[in-house]
Each structure stands twice: as C-alpha cells, then as structure tokens.
Chain A
Amino acid sequence: MNSLLARVISGFALFCLVIIIALLYEGIDRIVHARMQRRFGPPLLQPFYDVIKLLGKESIVPRRAVRTVFQASPWMAMVLVLVIFLYIPIGSIPPILAGNGDMILILYLLAASAVMMVVGGFASGSPYANVGSQREMVLMMSYELPLALVVLTLAWVVYKKGVPGAPFSLETFVAVPVWKTVGLVGAMGLLALLLALLGVIPAEVGKVPMDIAEAKTEILEGLLTEYSGRNLALFKLTFALRSLAMSALLVPLFFPFSLGKLLGLNGAYFVVIDFLWFWVKVLLVQIVAITIVRTMYGRFKIWQASQFYWFQMGGLALAGMILVSLDVMLF
C-alpha cells in the first residue's frame, strides 16, 4: 500500500518534470534552429508562453466534428505519451513501473498516441484534417518496419549473448551497454541500427522532413487544423513530449554510459550526476536527430517518405540486423 502511494506520488512528480523538460528542450530546439538559420530566435521560455496562452483561449469544436472523440483525443494522445516515461530508466534510477512493462509496450504506447492524433483529425470533419490523418497513418505504417527491426535485433543480441535481465527490458541495456557485448562487425551493425532509429525519429515526432501530416504550406497543419485553445495546447505538449520520449528511448538503448561510474562516485552524488547526465544526453540526441535534421532538409511528399522508410531505412536496419547476427553467430 505504501509503495503504491510512493509510486503515485513519484509518477506525478515525474509527469510534471517531463512536461517542463519537454517544453524547455523545445525552446532550446527553436533557438538552435534559429541560430543555424542566422536568426535570433524566440526566447527560451516561448513554448511555455504558448501553452499557457493557449490554455486561456476558447476551445472551438467545429459543427461537423464528432464532439466526444474530438475532445477526448488530445487528452488520450498526451496521457499515452506521458505513460511512456514510467517505463524509461532515467540515468541509474530504475523506472517507476520497473518490471511491469518493456520496449514492446513503449512502442505500443507511441503508436497508440499517434493513432489518437489520427482519430482526432478524422473526428474534426475538415478535409485538411482528413488528408493529414491519412498521411499520418501511411507514415506510421512506413516507419514501423525499421523501428521494429531495430528493437527486435537489439533484444535478440542481448538474449543470445546471455546478458542478465529480460531481453526486452530497458534496464538490461542500461546495466550492460550493448556495444560491449559485440565485436567489430557487430558494432558496425549496431551503428546501422542506430542510424535507422535516428532516421525514424523525425517521423515519430512529426518534424521536417517528415512533418507531412502537419505540412502547413500544403494542408494547413493537417490534423491540427480544427484544434484551438486547450485542445491545441494539449497537442503541442504531446508533440514536445513525443520528441522527448523518442530521444529518451534512444539513450538507454545506445548510450547508457554512466558518468557517475566514470568519475567513481557513489551514494547520492552518483544518482544526481547520472540523473543530470541522462537529460544532457537526451538533449544532445534531440538536437542531432531533430533540430539539425529539420534545419538541413525540406519536406518529403508522403509516397517519398514511405519509400524512404521501406527501402532506405528498412534496408539500413536489415543490414544492421544481418551484421549483428553474423557477429553473434560467428564470434
């Protein structure tokens, strides 16, 4: 009973923390993006101002929308992303719901929250939102292949190499970095898998070049077209949280290296340093995978994005899988 209460309180605290960090990182993302374009950029806290302002605005439900679904989908989308953070180990702190869920559940939650956005788009009764939702669905079907390949291969490696712990659990990857379990060939394969996962991130979080479902110069923010006020604020939070969740998922898988262990710390210092170190790593991943990519490229068309994920990224993930399998079976 006591531990349940502790979990609820710590879970609630974590939710508040990740929302603040997600918005803060979005602010950093926007400033870095602006500086790379030789612009000054918005203030660091601009995402906070945006969300607070939107919360105070009227939330309009279009006459042709399915009211209940339209109102519920932003909440569902955000809550489903928030729940992911209960399963991600932060630094050396085990996840709050450790042992109750694994990577497969995280992938499901990510997909479910995207589906909720699609449902919200379809429910708004606008042709633009309709097109946006269709595009988001096509995109989801495209990037699931490389994503599933990466996760399955990693779990298989951990299982075959006899790393202690459940193969799909993120804690297993934190305890023993996956790079240490394989040889040179396997490391090359892992690099391919890492690149494939980095390639999937823009589509997962809906940023250029994969912001096809929200393309504002084509279909006017797509599935967000009809949303306003509080609902839009929730969707803004959802997008910020998805960026954070994807980056935070990548860190334990590929970069679990602990700074505390390196410095030989122990006790409270170790936990605090690792906690902060984790968020620094997440920020770096987010800047590399989202900010730099969205500064460098323009937007794909939907069939081009689909092709990109099925062939280029799928091929990369497959090559990674083959290399890693060779490593595991031969050496």
Chain B
Amino acid sequence: MAEENKTYTIPIGPVHVGLKEPITAWLQVDGERIVDVRIRPGAIHRGIEYMARERNPIQVIYLAERICGICSFAHIVSFVRVVEDATGIPVPPRAKYIRTILLELERIHSHILWAGVACYTLGYDSAFNLGMLLREKVMDVLEAMTGNRVNYGVGTIGGVRRDITPKVAKAINEMLDYYNREFSYFYNVVTEDPIVKARMRNVGVLSKENAIRYCAVGPTARASGLRMDLRWSSPYEAYEDLEVEPVVPQDYLGKVHGDVFDRFFVRVMEVYQSLDIVKKCMDGLPDGPIMHESKPAKLLSLLKEAEGVGQSSIEAPRGDDTHAIKLTKGEENITWWKVRAPTYANAMSWPIMFKDQEIADAPLIINSIDPCISCMERMLVVDEKGSSTMTTKEELIKLCRDKTRRLMHR
C-alpha cells in the first residue's frame, strides 16, 4: 500500500523560549525533518521612521538608539554619521577614537551574549551562565564610561558626549586583561565539547554561493567564507588608522563549512579582534576636544540651515547597518530617514539554512544569524479584512518609488 507522507505544521514563535524577539517560523515537518518553512515577521513593527519625521535630528539620536537594545551605539553612530554627511559637520579625532572604542566594546558585549544564548538554545546551561558572567565585565566598563549598561546615550552630532577619563582608561585596561585571561576558558569549554560540536557542525549550512546570492552580511557572510567587513573595505571613524582583517573560518580552521559552528567560531574570534582594536585605540588615543559644538541650541540652528542627503554604512555586530537621511533647509525636523538593519539582509538566508534540518535545530538556526527583529521591521501591511496578502518585489519597488516621488515634491 502506497502511503502518503503526512506532514504537520509546528510554529516556532511568535513567542518562544528559544527566541529573543517575536518572529514566527511555520515549520512543515515530517517526523523530525523540516520539509518546508515560512518565516512570518510583523509582530513588533513600531513605526520608528515615521516617528522620526516629527523630531529634530538631536531628538532622533535618542530614537535611533532605541531601534535596538544591543547594537544601540551602532545605530547612533550610523545616524550621526548620516547627519554629518548631509551637513558637513567635522568630527574631532579624539571623538572618532572614542566612538570606535565604544563600537568595539558593544561588539564584544553583543557577541558574548550571542554565544551564551546559542549555548542556552542547545540546552548547555553551564556555558550560558559562564557567558553571562563574562559579559558582566564589559557591561561594567560601559557603565563606568557612559553611566548606562545598555542605550548609552553618548553619541551626538559632531562628536561624543563623554570623554575617557583616566579612571575609565584604567577600567578598560583591566577589562582587556580580564578577557585575555578568562575568555579562552569559555571558548575551549564550548568548542571542545563533543555534544556542542555534534549539534552545531553541518547544521544550517549556507554555502558561499548562496551567501552572495541572498546578500548575507556581517558574521553570517564571513562564516560562509566571504571576506567582507566594512571596517576593512570602507573604513570609517578610527578604523582608517587601524588594520582590521575580516575574520573568516578558512584562515583559522583551513576549511569553510558555513554552518552554525562556523558562525559561532567567527563571533568568538571577533571578540579577540575587538579586544585588540580597543587596545590599539587606547594606545593611540589622540588629545583634543570631543565635540565640534557643545551647545545644543547652536548645533540645532546649524542643523536647521542644512540642506542635503546623507548616507552611511557601518559594521554593526550583526553586519552592515545602513542609514540614509534628508534634511531640508529651514525645517527643524528631518524630512525622511531610512534604516536598513543587518537582520533584514540576513533573514533572507533562513529558508536556505532550514532545508532538510530537524525541529531540534530550528531555534538554533533562527538564532544563528543573531536576528534583531525589531531592528528589521520597517514595513507592515495591515489588511482590515484579515486576509493574508503577499507583497511582491515589483509592488514593493512601485510603492517605494511612489513614496520617494511624494517626498520629493514636498
């Protein structure tokens, strides 16, 4: 008797223990094997870009910070860079270095958090707790430096608002010693564990060709063997003075698998790279002012007179974070602002990674690109009749052009 293969549907999400943020993956499973997957975001759209159009650039800095909890400083830097790009406000060298240090501290914080959560997804709670313990140190340094553990609020147009005092410098140097001493322990515990290797190797594979085709960015692309890193290819801030090499697994392991283990490996190695960059920045920290204009009112009037479009891409912990902005002369508020967070590009690779995997791998694969769903959600189509509609690429492009035209004629 010919038996039909019966599949059934299991939702991972929208709220799930293994996920940090709400997103739904509808898995069609045959036993434990995933046959098909449909990813449905749309649970936490907040309309941040729209909110920004009723605020002036200085207010939007703090709005941009709240796009993401973990890569908040990356979004700030990206935003202030587009404003600086549009208005031509210069940034003092010391501020550039402080921004770089903060960006790297944030990368350390983000990668250690991710590595811990990946272990938690595997049920390896000891490594998760160890990771959280290690992360405390960088959080302490960030608190000493900025007063906050997340959402530091130190970026401003034309500089930064907090300087590195001798006390903070001491804390940073202590942190560097601490991580050089302690981090290898976590790394060894996880990578030498047979079960972790069995769970991560050859799971969620993204080949180099597919990484190019689906425009993967950041650690996800690097784990597939792509040598791409904005700090290396188009350096910004203090990276111009530093030599940053993209971390790719073939340089260390000799072979690229493009699986979850490689993504883990790349992130761990980037922590070491970031420690190195922070050390170099601390050694070469130039003297001078940290802000181009310290009086907000004066800065605001300067911005009000500005006219132009700015664009900037930086390497956030998860990949390329691109912002674009338009300022109109005589208007206090910004005209429009676009954000393209790295998850937006990386999420396209999910269906490829899910192919022929098991249910047990699903949360790990979703987490493996380090998704930031609230960063990603920029558009939401709400249908009052409640029917589900698919928006095709052509329709999206048309909507995009319509909107651009509308904005041009304002």
Contact = CB atoms under 8 A, between A and B. Distances in A.
Interface of A: 36-39, 127-128, 130-131, 134-135, 208-209, 211-212, 215-220, 295-304
Nearest to B194: A297
A208 B360 contact: no
A212 B358 CA distance: 13
B69 interface: no
Contact of B17 (A134, A135, A212, A217): A217
A215 B126 contact: no
Most buried by A among B119, B125, B360: B360
B127 to A, nearest CB: 7
A128 B363 CA distance: 14
20 contacts: A38-B133, A131-B29, A217-B17, A218-B359, A218-B363, A219-B359, A296-B126, A297-B124, A297-B193, A298-B123, A298-B196, A299-B123, A299-B124, A299-B360, A300-B199, A301-B198, A301-B199, A301-B361, A302-B358, A303-B358
Contacts of B199: 298-301, 304
A47 B290 CA distance: 55
A217 B360 CA distance: 9
Contacts of A131: 10, 29, 32, 359
A295 B123 CA distance: 10
A295 B198 contact: no
B9 interface: yes
A300 B199 CA distance: 7
Contacts of A218: 18, 359-360, 362-363
Contacts of A128: 10
Nearest to A138: B32
A168 B129 CA distance: 44
A297 B362 CA distance: 20
B380 interface: no
Interface residues of B, number: 33
A302 B32 contact: yes
Interface of B: 8-11, 16-18, 29, 31-32, 119-127, 129-130, 133, 193, 195-196, 198-199, 358-363
A37 B125 contact: yes
Nearest 10 A/B pairs, CB to CB: A299-B123, A298-B124, A217-B18, A298-B122, A37-B129, A301-B360, A298-B195, A127-B10, A217-B121, A297-B195
A37 B125 CA distance: 8
B211 to A, nearest CB: 25
Contacts of A219: 10, 359
Nearest to B196: A298
Contacts of A216: 17
B297 to A, nearest CB: 50
B10 A208 contact: no
Given A298-B127, A298-B195, A217 B133 contact: no
Contacts of A301: 198-199, 358, 360-361
B363 A300 contact: no
B129 A302 contact: no
Contacts of B124: 208, 297-299
B123 A211 contact: yes
A296 B9 CA distance: 33
A37 B119 CA distance: 14
A141 B324 CA distance: 58
Contact of B119 (A209, A215, A298, A302): A298
A215 B129 CA distance: 18
A129 to B, nearest CB: 11
Given A127-B10, A218-B18, A220-B16, A300 B195 contact: yes
B243 to A, nearest CB: 37
A209 B363 CA distance: 17
Contacts of A302: 32, 358, 360
A40 to B, nearest CB: 11
A71 B408 CA distance: 65
Contacts of A39: 129
A208 B125 contact: yes
